[in-house]
Structure 1
Amino acid sequence: MSNMHSTPLDIRQLEAFAAVMSAGSVTGAARLLGRSQPAVTRLIQDLEADLGYALLHRSGPRITPTSRGLLFHAEVERHLASLAHIRERAEAIALDEPMTITVAATPSLAAGILPQALAAVAANLIPRHLHIQALAAENVVQAVLARSADVGISSLPLEHPGLEIHWIAEAPCVVAIGASDPLAARDVVRLTDVADRRIITLANPYRLRHRVNEALDRAGVSPDRIIDVNASLTALSLVRSGLGVAIVEPATVRGIPLDGIAMRAIDQTIPFLFGAISAAALPLTPTVAALIDTTRAEALAMSGCRIIDSNGSEALADTVYGSPEISEGAPR
């Protein structure tokens, strides 16, 4: 029977287990930690004894995690990261400096607007320690809800009563084609022009992909060659290698322009929706508040981007699932 309820877990044991998972072996973990191999082995054995179950399968020198070990590792990573953040925040308090923050963003937004937005934040608001996590949109939401991230920049849709949505932006998707492609001579590319090409697009059917599919359907285009990817940068790299044309959101394009690729407008409107979120009812630090403002400004710097006025989750749902109202004079 486990003694875990009566015996506090030793931080050294958790660090040893995390190191073994990272290095893939006790020998590698010992090198990472600057300890002897027997010492690391003993720490893992003591941790398993405290927990009451095995964390690792041992077969000679080979070590693999058990199913429980994999689940426990996710908790250990979060715990160790939290301890590191507590140390950093304690140091910031002692020095009267801005508090460390964690920003969670989808890969396209982490690359496309976050660097410029951070550069626009006043230098005296940038903390000594700043953490940026590039995550899937669903994981951005979970990080913000769990308060392991102070602010999130994510594609939509996302709805949760525990979220505060600070702004919602809409920008038109673009088509990426090889710079030497004859279509690069056009300012606007029709989807019918790429009907016989291999189409490269994002895989998640619940986000941008379904809008791409709707646009292809409207144009009467049924591509028989498709490459699904989970990141726009991958799509752009595939285009540069001559593997097809890509329909992508505009953020990555702006943040990481690639030689050999031409970006062109599409004759069908394919909206990319994204926004800034934080945990509801959680006071914003000056740094987070400034970053929310600068990411909004960077979003507006994208060609054709507009901010959609919103009023909580109802407006968000209307924007994502229905036909958003366009303010008088707003660009269409």
Structure 2
Amino acid sequence: MVEHRHRLREFECLRAVVVTGTTIGAARRLGISQSAVSRSLSQLEARVGRLLFLRRSGRIEPTAEALRLNDKLDPIFETLADIEGAEWVTPDAEPLRLIVPPTLAHHFVISRVARFLKENPGKQLQLDIQATDVLVSGILELRYDLGLTSGMIQRSGVHLVPWRRSQVVCAMPTGHPLSEKEVITPHDLEGVALIEFLRRLGTRAITEQLFARAGVHPKQVAETATNMAALELVRQGLGVTLINPFPLLTSGLDGIEVRPFDAAIFYNTSFVLPSGRPPSQLARQFMQFIKLTTPLDKYSEPV
């Protein structure tokens, strides 16, 4: 029994270092000394006969073997969490650091955060609202534990966990001539006033390629960076836009009509995590809560 307790402490230290990235952070998480963490890691490496961490200039990085071992420990510690409450897995004093782009935050996430905290008294959460490029850099630098975005991210160092899928639609002012059609095709936009997204955003390249293949030339009247700005310009009668309907359009917007757009342009709304680091217990709990409390709508489906 004594040996088993020692092994459990070694595994606790491994998981804490993988999550926090430092022996100091692991020591704070577990409520023990930094030297005790280092000693447990050395004992575990000797026991398994593998190098589990690379130690360089005061930094400690998990090896591939450490990450695989950590993954195998997940069910063990999740079971212990269920049995004991597992205050040591994610202490209430350590909030979930969440980052979300403005549109997703104001039209979906904030209300879920409020409900999550009401249903989980004692849990803490820090919500930052930033553009997707800031979100990615923050996750890479481990300044945040979890992000949510519908952005088309292709970046090493971050891990995307899709949970909602939607397809592009055409939004237009109420009474627009195209509202007489049930489905909008690329050719319907020939010469039509179009509100585009900035070139640095992934959807812009996709729509430009689509129009080029179809030989269509919409009339670009404005460019913007956010879905909400595009829809407000549409509401003001400036033109139409091609947009991700989730979550902005799921409940409808006054002054705007929506039609399906005949193009295979899909959006994944995803959780964003740092690669190689398992989410904390609190992050997993919040992710599951989001999945379970997302209402059904006609524009998106669970992944």
TM-score range, shorter chain: 0.5 to 0.7
114, 126, 130: which is aligned to 2:125?
130
Residue 158 in structure 1 maps to residue 166 in structure 2: no
Q: Secondary structure at the match of 1:189?
A: coil
CA contact (8 A) 2:95 2:124 kept: yes
Equivalences for 1:137-176 in 2 at 5 Å? Answer: 137-154=132-149, 155-161=151-157, 163-167=158-162, 169-176=164-171
265, 281, 299: which is aligned to 2:260?
265
Residue 182 in structure 1 maps to residue 213 in structure 2: no
Residue 287 in structure 1 maps to residue 282 in structure 2: yes
Q: Secondary structure at the match of 1:250?
A: coil
CA contact (8 A) 1:97 1:127 kept: yes
State the shift of 1:181 in Å.
Answer: 1.6
Equivalences for 1:106-255 in 2 at 5 Å? Answer: 106-115=101-110, 117-118=112-113, 121=116, 123-125=118-120, 129-154=124-149, 155-161=151-157, 163-167=158-162, 169-254=164-249
Structure 2 distance, partners of 1:187, 1:275, is 30
State the shift of 1:281 in Å.
Answer: 4.3
What amino acid is the match of 2:142? Answer: R
Structure 1 distance, partners of 2:286, 2:263, is 32
CA contact (8 A) 1:211 1:271 kept: no
When normalised by structure 1's length, the TM-score is 0.55
State the shift of 1:229 in Å.
Answer: 0.2
Equivalences for 1:57-136 in 2 at 5 Å? Answer: 97=92, 99-115=94-110, 117-118=112-113, 121=116, 123-125=118-120, 129-136=124-131
Structure 2 distance, partners of 1:135, 1:269, is 28
Structure 2 distance, partners of 1:167, 1:188, is 27
Which residues of structure 1 form unaligned runs of 5+? 1-91, 309-332
Count of aligned pairs between the two proteins: 214
Structure 2 distance, partners of 1:118, 1:270, is 29
Structure 1 residues 125 and 241, CA, compared in 2 at 3 Å: closer, same or farther?
A: same
When normalised by structure 2's length, the TM-score is 0.60
Structure 1 residues 283 and 116, CA, compared in 2 at 3 Å: closer, same or farther?
A: same
Which has the higher mean CA deviation after the structures are superposed, 96-105 or 229-238?
96-105
Structure 1 distance, partners of 2:209, 2:111, is 32
Which has the higher mean CA deviation after the structures are superposed, 275-284 or 234-243?
275-284
State the shift of 1:270 in Å.
Answer: 1.8
Q: Percent of counterpart pairs with the same letter?
A: 19
CA contact (8 A) 2:179 2:257 kept: yes
Structure 1 residues 68-95: Cα deviation after superposition (integer angstroms, max 9, x where no partner): xxxxxxxxxxxxxxxxxxxxxxxx99xx
